[in-house]
Amino acid sequence: MNETPILQTENLTYVYQKGTSSEVTAIRDVSIEIRQGELVGVIGHTGSGKSTLIEHFNALKKGTSGRVLLDGNDVWADKSKIRAVRFRVGVCFQYPEYQLFEETVAKDIAFGPHNMGLPQEEIDRRVKEALQNVGLSEDYAEKSPFDLSGGEKRRVAIAGIMAMEPQVLVLDEPCAGLDPQGRATVLQMIADYRKKTGCTVLLVTHSMEDAAAIADRILVMNQSRVAFFDTVDAVFAHAEELQTMGLDIPQMTQLMLSLREKGYDVPVNLYTVQQVYDALLPRWKGGTHRAQ
């Protein structure tokens, strides 16, 4: 692990429409550190402030108070370098398919690299690679993005961010509105991309299962504050609290919780079938262990 965190926030607070009757504090006093190369799942209920938080990471929003540090430097330190920050922290927003505008898929993916002022050969290389990363064949390059299916549009939009080759890739609900197979494809795509490039990834989602499946650490936002920020295991140890926050915990964790309610002394921070299998089988073989 690297000494300085790649991305860091210090007491970050953001207030919408400050000074009017509809003033809302979206995030309050958020201080987190994201390490180089890790995959962080950002989880929270609708309106918990997770989307507002990520808009701070690439300096689209400036905190009402507090700072955001990228590689130890305040992103707002030099206003003329804001765009450079956005190339280093690539943010892909919710329903990114609605940002497509070019005539062809290749041109749309090239929009980011083009804005970076890269030479044409480099842009072509990146477009090719980005298409590969999202699992689309090169036949797609010359198609109109408006002729694609919803899932394909989504992947083209994600490729548009990947083509900038950011150090930190932030994806806001990349699986929203996709069918189970589409979800699995996108998640796998993100995991593969990270393995290949070693870049830091932040995955915003409200599905605990998605986060548990690929994340190293999980950041839980609740009512505009950071509720937990820890390893997957440690976060799921708080399964009951997560439930009171209105988050749907993985089915296996739920099973363990109900077992515990029935009086069995079992760990609750399990979230895959394999883990549960490993934990329960020895007990079953050794007879009943009813805790009193």
Partner 1 sequence: MLSDITIGQYYKAQSVVHRMDARMKLILTVLFIVIIFLCRNFFSLAVMFVLTAVSILLSRVPFRMFFKSLKPIIPIILITAILNIFYISRGTELFSWWKITVTTGGLFTALFMAIRIICLIMVSSLLTYTTVPTLLTDAIERLLSPLKVFHISVHTLAMMMTLALRFIPTLIEEIDRITNAQKARGADFESGKFIQRVKAMIPVLIPLFVSAFRRAYELSFAMTCRCYHGGDGRTRMKQMKLSAVDFVALAIFLVALAGVIVLNHFFTSLI
The letter for the amino acid at 147 is: D
Say if residues 268 and 256 touch (Cβ distance below 8 Å).
Answer: yes
**Residue from 22, 46, 137, 244 in contact with partner 1 (CB under 8 A):** 22
Tokens 């809302």 belong to which residue?
24
The letter for the amino acid at 87 is: F
Piece of 17-25, 183-191, 215-223, 268-276 that binds partner 1 (CB under 8 A)? 17-25
Instruction: Please say which residue, 88 or 238, places its beta carbon nearer to partner 1.
Output: 88
**Residue from 7, 105, 156, 161 in contact with partner 1 (CB under 8 A):** 161
Q: Output the smallest distance, CB 98 to partner 1, in A.
A: 6
Q: Show the binding pattern over residues 28-67: x = contacts partner 1 (CB under 8 A), - = does not.
A: ---------------------------x--x-x-------
Q: Show the binding pattern over residues 110-139: x = contacts partner 1 (CB under 8 A), - = does not.
A: -xx--xx-----------------------
Instruction: Please say which residue, 115 or 188, places its beta carbon nearer to partner 1.
Output: 115
| Positions in 211-250 near partner 1 (CB under 8 A) | none
- Can you tell me the distance from the alpha carbon of 151 to that of 122, in angstroms, rounded to the nearest whole number? 27
- Can you tell me the distance from the alpha carbon of 283 to that of 155, in angstroms, rounded to the nearest whole number? 45
Residue 164, interface with partner 1 (CB under 8 A)? Answer: yes
Q: How far is CA 183 from the centre of its chain?
A: 13
DSSP 3-state assignment of 266? coil
Q: 242: Cβ–Cβ under 8 A, 6 or more apart, which residues?
A: 208, 220, 235, 236, 249
Instruction: Please say which residue, 100 or 239, places its beta carbon nearer to partner 1.
Output: 100
Beta pairing partners, 287: none
Q: How far is CA 131 from the centre of its chain?
A: 20
What is the rounded radius of gyration, in angstroms, for the C-alpha atoms of the chain?
Answer: 21
Beta pairing partners, 41: 203, 218
Piece of 31-39, 96-104, 130-138, 274-282 that binds partner 1 (CB under 8 A)? 96-104
Chain residues binding partner 1 by CB under 8 A are: 19, 21-22, 55, 58, 60, 83, 86-87, 90-93, 96, 98-101, 111-112, 115-116, 146, 160-161, 164
